[in-house]
A = this chain, B = another copy of it.
Amino acid sequence: MDTRHVFIISDRTGITAETLSHSLLTQFPGVNFHTIALPFVDSVAKVDEAVQRIDAVGRETGNKPLVFTTFVEDTHREQLQRANGVFFDFFDTFIGPLERELKAESSHSAGQSHGMVDVARYTSRISAVNFSVHCDDGIHTSNYDQAMVVLMGVSRSGKTPTCLYLALRFGIYAANYPLTEDDFSQEVFPDALRIHRDKLFGLTIEPERLQQIRQERRGSGHYSELRQCRYEVTQAEVLYRQQGIPYLDATSMSIEEIGTTVIHRMKLHRDPY
């Protein structure tokens, strides 16, 4: 398989350039990409070093490297483009058409989207992360009035990573409540959940996949027997239907897909970072 070298270069974090290049390059499964990220390239000397690295790779491989960039400073971008690479600059491409459409000049401050622009908004996001860690695994249910959503599901159905994703990426206060045998054997729906019924969202998962995840984590035992996984998943789904709780099968979904679906179906406010 061919290997093609890719540089991601920015005078800030380079997160935008990395996200976009990742999306583009996954479109070429037949090419093996070797990625070199150079964040914080913010001086003439650092840009010069980057130029030399690009040119060295080009000479060694006989192929021009692909270079994805976002730069605050136009002069840095211009200096970098002296290197012998194939350049993709996201701002260069879209800012012009946007300026014309909006009849406004851009502030020329690429990278602000991942900086700490607004301290109050930023603090609120950190609070959301702390909230999700604090309310993980069904603890501190008394804080559910602060929650925007409460994810329910059996152990290892994906609640914790999804809550943390919602908090980190969108500043959403997400708690999670693990369903255990205690919940299934009780005649009554727990008070902590009942009073927040409109915030509840259930996750379910195929028992076979659940067994696999539990085995990887804890090895064999009652907890990771297929029979036990089947029992818990069935009971969870019965509970969701009985209580009218919206739910989804997360078996073959990524954290991003589960998170996006939860936001969409629960109509949560999303404030991306």
Contact = CB atoms under 8 A, between A and B. Distances in A.
B24 A95 contact: yes
A123 interface: yes
Given A27-B95, A102-B28, A254 B20 contact: no
Interface string A169-205: 0000000000000000000000000000000000000
A74 to B, nearest CB: 13
- Copies of this protein in the assembly total 2
Q: Which of A95, A126, A252 has the largest count of B CB atoms less than 10 A from its CB? A: A126
Q: Which of A24, A40, A117, A273 has the largest count of B CB atoms less than 10 A from its CB? A: A24
Interface of A: 4, 12-16, 18-20, 22-24, 26-31, 37, 39-40, 66, 70, 86, 88, 90-91, 93-95, 97-98, 101-102, 104, 106-117, 122-123, 126-127, 129-130, 133, 136, 158, 160-161, 164-165, 168, 213, 216-217, 252-257, 260-261, 263-264, 270, 272-273
